[in-house]
């Protein structure tokens, strides 16, 4: 027998023989395990090149951002602790892949800017990550991929307001 909290924070019993419960839990496990296997495959490939996944994601987020991001904004974007982000950026700065520059709008903040060496490494690592992605998606037809992608994007919608509210409460 399992229990879960309802929206009103009361406890209710879950009938584990209910096929919907089994499918819900199976989906949750499949989603979580797919993300885990993806991260492990990418991490394995990047480690051979001397880069961690969080370092790669930091460089990628900084390059893909429309404007320079602060350390805190990068940490939030990557869902890592701010302390962990400081250590990651320290390593990337030491390796000459990013640099800290004072923010033009707020002198208290440093923005993270990818160096030329970091941009070059990004292009090399992008190829490595793309190879993992191609291997993973080779079993999926393009039409299925479109539907699956749209479905996963749709699943994010009901949870986004709670994330924004939680972030605003900090």
Question: Residues 66-102: pLDDT tens digits?
Answer: 888 999 999 999 999 999 999 999 999 999 999 999 9
Residue 169 falls within a domain, yes or no?
no
- Asked whether residue 154 is assigned to any structural domain, the reply reads no
135 lies in some domain:
yes
Domain extent, residue 71, equals 2-139
Flag whether 155 is in a domain: no
CATH of the domain at 34: 1.10.10.10
At 99, phi and psi to the nearest 5?
-140, 155
Name the pTM for this structure: 0.71
pLDDT, tens digit, for every residue of 106-137?
888 889 999 999 999 999 999 999 999 999 99
How many domains does one find in the chain?
1
Helix (H, G, I), strand (E, B) or coil at 81: coil
Angular region, 50: left φ>0, alpha ψ -120 to 50, beta rest: left
CA atoms within 13 A on the CB side of 59: 27
Residue 81: inside a domain: yes
Whether residue 79 contacts residue 166, with contact meaning beta carbons closer than 8 Å, is answered with: no
CB burial of 24-42 (b: ≥16 within 10 Å; e: otherwise) equals eeeeeeeeeeeeeeeeebb
Within-domain flag for 157: no
């Amino acid at each position: 027998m399992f229990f879960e909290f309802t929206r009103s924070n009361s406890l209710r019993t879950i009938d584990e023989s209910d096929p919907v419960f089994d499918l819900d839990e199976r989906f949750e496990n499949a989603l979580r395990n797919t993300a885990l296997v993806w991260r492990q495959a990418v991490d394995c490939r990047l480690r051979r090149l001397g880069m961690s996944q969080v370092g790669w994601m930091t460089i990628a987020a900084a390059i893909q951002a429309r404007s320079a991001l602060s350390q805190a904004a990068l940490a939030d974007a990557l869902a890592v602790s701010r302390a962990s982000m400081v250590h990651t950026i320290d390593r990337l700065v030491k390796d000459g892949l990013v640099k800290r520059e004072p923010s033009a709008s707020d002198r208290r903040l440093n923005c993270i800017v990818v160096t030329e060496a970091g941009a070059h490494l990004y292009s090399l690592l992008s190829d490595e990550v793309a190879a993992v992605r191609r291997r993973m998606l080779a079993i999926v037809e393009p039409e299925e991929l479109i539907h699956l992608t749209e479905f996963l994007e749709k699943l994010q919608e009901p949870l986004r307001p709670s994330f924004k509210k939680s972030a605003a409460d900090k």
